[in-house]
């Protein structure tokens, strides 16, 4: 019997994944990562209640449940990076970092230590013939967040929810099998930030808050003062506190000079970007592929040009709105995820 280590968040997806794996004949060990201490967060893949709920599900299914403390690794890889990015005027994607270093990094190493053949999670994605692919539930597909996984471990990953079409099917399975988490709310956008209040979190966790600076137009005209670059992101229109003859948007954040550049909506569009921190999941990236500049963005056809071993230029056929430093660009060939990198 093959042994699989399943990451369990105490949510409905990973709980149903445990049931499906057990029914498929695997020896399943559930594991919950403890990544931070905050009893105020009740919803999320890392909530304080996660371990207790996961344990209840494991007990019902008759499978082992482990708890591992990864708080230091999470702080180093995810939280510190999140704070540093905002300090430097970029907009990070902490889920990408967590998947890369924690769920498919530290957890994979733990799986090897205890003799597991596979690692599994409740992500909506698929691995087929050693390739990372989109799940059947396209509106829930999470392959975008998984592009940072090492290519070498793909054949050791199971995604039990890969072939389901929607979340309602998953909840029905949980209800039909009397799983205690069947009606539990879905996790919030960023698990370690209460109420998705980024500004409040950064204010409470930065050693030094960014200083105020100038709002300027691209010609250098000063329009007023900004509160600090961490409060702004590319494409932002609301909350600027600037009155002007036409709507203004954040078009660029100049970290070195502590300036936020404002412009018209047309100034948000660009055909090109450069990515670094590249991870390729296939033998070689093609010269042409579809690319997503953020999770909710539509895929757009682009030309891929290697600049050097660390950087790739992406040239889109059609201009893209609000290309944002710190976000990930992920490449696709139909349903196959080819890899990606972080916008420089």
The CATH number assigned to the domain holding 243 equals: 2.30.30.280
Note whether 105 and 233 are same-domain residues: no
Note whether 50 and 151 are same-domain residues: yes
**Domain's final residue, options 196, 231, 254:** 196
Sequence-distant (≥ 6) Cβ neighbours of residue 223 within 8 angstroms: 214, 215, 216, 217, 242, 244, 248, 262
Q: Between the CA of residue 283 and those of 100, 130, 151, 339, what are the distances in Å?
A: 19, 11, 9, 10
Q: Which of 45, 58, 98, 337 is catalytic?
A: 98
How crowded is the C-beta side of 207, counted as CA atoms within 13 Å? 2
Please indicate whether residue 45 is annotated as part of the active site: no
d(CA 322, CA 302): 16
Task: Report the CATH number that the domain containing residue 332 is assigned in CATH.
Answer: 2.40.30.10
d(CA 46, CA 38): 9
Note whether 37 and 169 are same-domain residues: yes
Query: Of 89, 115, 96, which is closest to residue 29 (Cα–Cα)?
Result: 115
Per-residue pLDDT of the chain (344 residues; tens, 9 = 90+): 999 999 999 999 999 999 999 999 999 999 999 998 754 444 445 555 788 999 999 999 999 999 999 999 999 999 999 999 999 999 999 999 999 999 999 999 999 999 999 999 999 999 999 999 999 988 899 999 999 999 999 999 999 999 998 889 999 999 999 999 988 887 767 888 888 888 899 999 998 888 999 999 999 999 999 999 999 999 999 999 999 999 999 999 999 999 999 999 999 999 999 999 999 999 999 999 999 999 999 999 999 999 999 999 999 999 999 999 999 999 999 999 999 999 99
Q: How high is the pLDDT of residue 40?
A: 45
d(CA 62, CA 236): 49
Note whether 177 and 310 are same-domain residues: no
Query: What is the SS3 assignment for 40?
Result: coil
Domains: count for the chain: 3
Query: Of 152, 45, 41, 165, which is closest to residue 99 (Cα–Cα)?
Result: 45
pLDDT tens track for 230-252: 999 999 999 999 999 999 999 99
Q: How high is the pLDDT of residue 195?
A: 82
The single residue listed with the structure tokens 């932002």 is 236
Under a CB-based contact definition with an 8 Å cutoff, are residues 194 and 38 in contact? Answer: yes
- Count of H helices and E strands in the chain? 8, 17
Q: How high is the pLDDT of residue 39?
A: 47
Q: How high is the pLDDT of residue 50?
A: 82
**Domain's final residue, options 145, 172, 196:** 196
Note whether 108 and 46 are same-domain residues: yes
Note whether 190 and 226 are same-domain residues: no
Please indicate whether residue 337 is annotated as part of the active site: no
Note whether 192 and 317 are same-domain residues: no
Q: How high is the pLDDT of residue 166?
A: 87
Note whether 272 and 255 are same-domain residues: no
Q: Is residue 35 part of a domain?
A: yes
Q: Is residue 203 part of a domain?
A: no
R_g (Cα) of the chain, nearest Å? 21
**Domain's final residue, options 263, 296, 322:** 263
Structural domain of 101: 3-196
Note whether 279 and 259 are same-domain residues: no
d(CA 23, CA 27): 10
pLDDT tens track for 99-140: 999 999 999 999 999 999 999 999 999 999 999 999 998 889
Q: Which of 85, 95, 191, 337 is catalytic?
A: 191
Note whether 250 and 274 are same-domain residues: no
Note whether 38 and 108 are same-domain residues: yes
Note whether 135 and 14 are same-domain residues: yes
Q: How high is the pLDDT of residue 46?
A: 52
């Amino acid at each position: 019997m093959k042994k699989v280590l399943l990451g369990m968040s105490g949510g409905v997806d990973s709980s149903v994944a445990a049931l499906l794996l057990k029914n498929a004949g695997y020896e399943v060990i559930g594991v919950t990562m403890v990544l931070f201490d905050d009893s105020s967060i009740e919803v999320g893949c890392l909530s304080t209640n996660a371990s207790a709920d996961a344990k209840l599900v494991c007990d019902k299914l008759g499978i082992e449940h482990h708890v591992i403390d990864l708080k230091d690794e999470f702080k180093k890889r995810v939280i510190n990076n999140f704070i540093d990015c905002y300090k430097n005027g970029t907009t990070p994607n902490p889920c990408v970092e967590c998947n890369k270093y924690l769920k498919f990094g530290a957890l994979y190493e733990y799986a090897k230590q205890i003799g597991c053949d596979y690692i599994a999670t409740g992500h909506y994605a698929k691995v087929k013939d050693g390739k990372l692919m989109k799940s059947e539930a396209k509106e829930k597909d999470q392959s975008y967040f998984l592009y940072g996984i090492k290519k070498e471990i793909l054949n050791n990953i199971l995604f039990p929810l890969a072939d389901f079409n929607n979340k309602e099917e998953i909840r029905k399975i949980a209800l039909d099998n009397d799983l205690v988490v069947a009606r539990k709310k879905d996790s919030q956008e960023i698990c370690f930030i209460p109420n998705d209040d980024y500004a409040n979190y950064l204010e409470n966790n930065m050693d030094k808050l960014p200083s105020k600076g100038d709002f300027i137009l691209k010609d250098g005209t000063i329009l007023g003062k900004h509160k600090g670059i961490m409060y702004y992101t590319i494409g932002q229109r609301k909350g600027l506190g600037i009155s002007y003859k036409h709507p203004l948007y954040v078009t660029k954040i100049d970290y070195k000079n502590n300036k936020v550049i404002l412009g018209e909506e047309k100034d948000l569009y660009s055909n090109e970007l450069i990515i670094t921190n590249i991870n390729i999941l296939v033998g070689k990236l093609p010269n042409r592929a579809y690319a997503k500049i953020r999770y909710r963005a539509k895929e757009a056809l682009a030309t891929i040009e290697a600049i050097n071993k660390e950087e790739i230029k992406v040239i889109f056929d059609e201009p893209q709105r609000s290309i944002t430093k710190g976000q990930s660009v992920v490449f696709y060939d139909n349903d196959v995820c080819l890899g990606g990198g972080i916008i420089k």
